[in-house]
Structure 1
Amino acid sequence: MKKMNSQVWALVIFSLVFAVVYKFSLWYAAGLGNVSSFVFSFEKDIPFIPWTIIPYLSSGAFFCIVFLQIRSREALRLFLKRVVAMTLLAGIFFIFLPLQYSYAKPEVKNSVFGALFWLLEGFDDRYNQSPSLHVAFAFAFWTVLRELKNKWRTVAAIWLVMVALSTLTTFQHHLIDIFTGSILAHFIFVLFPAQNRQVGFRNLHVANCYFLIGWATVFTAFLLAEFYAFYWIHLCWLGVAIFVLGYLYQTNRVGYLRLAQIKIRTSNNR
């Protein structure tokens, strides 16, 4: 019962912080009158897919699931600190660097999906774009849900990817919001690492550092390709290599790196 009370109180605290920060920044941006947008040139080819409103709206339900899924008080405090910090830092960007979504939504002919979009419009607006909290929170959810059993772990991973992608296909966010939301999430993970001295947790902290650098590299590649020359997009391969390093650390497979180093040294000594 005490654990349940702690989980509920943590959810209430987060909900209050989120409501105040998100609504205030929406109100502030709406009063500016002239809020700019940032759109990559190829984004016009991203399709509008009405049914993806379902995974988009499921982000709210994930909070209830995840808060109740966390068992230890230490993990609960860490998760709460992370999502509150994401909200506060995103709120600073919403206020000082506001952006708005620039494309008009097509007409939704399906009555169910249309009702869901109408519901969304009731509490959201075209502001509060970058960084995308939907994306940042999806990464935060995964830090908890990756502990599920194999089948449910896979289901959770696929659904969270759909949550992140739905920000584009519901015409709620531009691509820059996805990049900055990913960078925000991993910056917070690095800022608030898991407090455990086991090797696996140290490797997880190193992995988050690599993921942060990887997202920043890919984002830089897209910016350079957009404003200077398209060949800069090849910088994404460096980002992919950094992500692979992060994955090896995250899954405690650092030994593969050492084995590769030994093989390289052996071949050089021949």
Structure 2
Amino acid sequence: MKFKWGKMNANMWGMVIFSAVFALVYKFSLWYAAQLGEVRSFVFGFERDIPFLPWTIIPYLSSGVFFCVVFLLIKSPEALRVFLKRVLLMTVLAGIGFILMPLQFSQPKPQVSHTILGALFWLLDGVDDPYNQSPSLHVAFAFAFWTVFRELKSPWRHIAAVWLMMVALSTLTTYQHHLIDVFTGSILAHVVFLIIPSQPRTFAYRNLHIANFYFLAAWLVLLASFLMAEYFGTGWFNGCWLAVALFITGFLCQKYRIGQLRREVIRISVFRRFL
């Protein structure tokens, strides 16, 4: 897939291409869900206890700002191609999921008394609908953003990491998504990372590619654990520990610290046996 840029800046072309595809896919899937007679919801039992935090509308809406900034931060043409391919594929695959498995958010939002925050929720309600739930593109895009922002120097890299985590968590605390959407959004992101690796599969980036396999497996195991807890009330504890082990393995691969892997696995095994 080759992109040929005109006189306009390549980064601006990338933003325009993404915006057009996103608007087309997202709006069509919204329209499709609205035409259905009944759209189901999938809610874990404990989600009723997730608090509604009006102030988290700020990180939630900041996802759009991130998209403008991230295109400006990408310096090399190859990095731009990789990022654009990834977010386009995420959008298309999510759109297919929205159509094949339409879901809607089922919990009503409490009244927001704060003037500014209430205006932000009013703005969100004016452009969005309770459909296009699973997978959450807010979550998937947060992972995509991190592939660019992790190249920043401290402290900006750490600030970006914390803020992107807030973006993902805000999908729950603004009552825009259910937990299943967060899981599937995370799975979608890592599937796309594996399909479109960030760099040629040279030895230097081999561990980064392998790490994404571990992260994908961890999210799948975590989702399976929560589903088992919901439907069978058992098996979730061991599954969560396996997911933690996979996350740690992926992190060590990503940081090229494979020598620490055995020690970390031993620590998890000992701690689990103690519990």
Bucket of the pairwise TM-score, normalised by the shorter protein: over 0.9
Against the structure 1 CA distance between its residues 37 and 60, is the aligned structure 2 distance closer, same or farther, given a 3 Å change threshold? same
| 1:167 Cα deviation from its structure 2 partner | 0.2
Determine the structure 1 residue equivalent to 2:216.
212
| 1:2 Cα deviation from its structure 2 partner | 8.2
Name the SS of the counterpart of 1:99 in structure 2: coil
- Kindly indicate whether the alpha-carbon contact (under 8 Å) linking 1:48 and 1:170 is maintained by their aligned counterparts in 2: yes
- Kindly indicate whether the alpha-carbon contact (under 8 Å) linking 2:225 and 2:235 is maintained by their aligned counterparts in 1: no
- Read off the aligned partner of 1:18 and give its amino acid letter: F
CA RMSD in angstroms, aligned pairs only:
1.8
TM-score by length of 1: 0.93
CA distance in 1, matches of 2:260, 2:7: 40
Answering whether residue 227 of structure 2 is matched by residue 223 of structure 1, we say yes
CA distance in 2, matches of 1:2, 1:76: 15
Match of 1:36 among 32, 36, 40: 40
- Read off the aligned partner of 2:224 and give its amino acid letter: T
- Read off the aligned partner of 2:128 and give its amino acid letter: D
Determine the structure 1 residue equivalent to 2:270.
none
CA distance in 1, matches of 2:206, 2:239: 28
CA distance in 2, matches of 1:119, 1:92: 26
List runs of 5+ in structure 2 lacking aligned partners: 266-275
Name the SS of the counterpart of 2:9 in structure 1: helix
Alignment of 1:57-72 (within 5 A): 57-72=61-76
Answering whether residue 91 of structure 2 is matched by residue 87 of structure 1, we say yes
Against the structure 1 CA distance between its residues 206 and 4, is the aligned structure 2 distance closer, same or farther, given a 3 Å change threshold? farther
CA distance in 1, matches of 2:156, 2:52: 28
Summarize deviations over 1:212-261 as a string: whole Å, max 9, x none: 00000000000011001234333110000000000001111113237889
Answering whether residue 167 of structure 2 is matched by residue 177 of structure 1, we say no
Answering whether residue 103 of structure 2 is matched by residue 99 of structure 1, we say yes
Determine the structure 1 residue equivalent to 2:159.
155
Against the structure 1 CA distance between its residues 186 and 197, is the aligned structure 2 distance closer, same or farther, given a 3 Å change threshold? closer
- Kindly indicate whether the alpha-carbon contact (under 8 Å) linking 1:101 and 1:129 is maintained by their aligned counterparts in 2: yes
Alignment of 1:120-139 (within 5 A): 120-139=124-143
Answering whether residue 255 of structure 2 is matched by residue 255 of structure 1, we say no
CA distance in 2, matches of 1:143, 1:3: 27
Against the structure 1 CA distance between its residues 165 and 258, is the aligned structure 2 distance closer, same or farther, given a 3 Å change threshold? closer
- Kindly indicate whether the alpha-carbon contact (under 8 Å) linking 1:86 and 1:184 is maintained by their aligned counterparts in 2: yes
- Kindly indicate whether the alpha-carbon contact (under 8 Å) linking 1:179 and 1:219 is maintained by their aligned counterparts in 2: yes
Count of aligned pairs between the two proteins: 261
Against the structure 1 CA distance between its residues 260 and 59, is the aligned structure 2 distance closer, same or farther, given a 3 Å change threshold? closer
Identity fraction in percent: 65
Answering whether residue 149 of structure 2 is matched by residue 145 of structure 1, we say yes
Determine the structure 2 residue equivalent to 1:242.
246
CA distance in 2, matches of 1:118, 1:204: 41
| 1:150 Cα deviation from its structure 2 partner | 1.3
CA distance in 2, matches of 1:206, 1:55: 30
- Kindly indicate whether the alpha-carbon contact (under 8 Å) linking 1:4 and 1:68 is maintained by their aligned counterparts in 2: no
- Kindly indicate whether the alpha-carbon contact (under 8 Å) linking 1:140 and 1:185 is maintained by their aligned counterparts in 2: yes
Answering whether residue 115 of structure 2 is matched by residue 116 of structure 1, we say no
TM-score by length of 2: 0.91
CA distance in 2, matches of 1:260, 1:133: 32
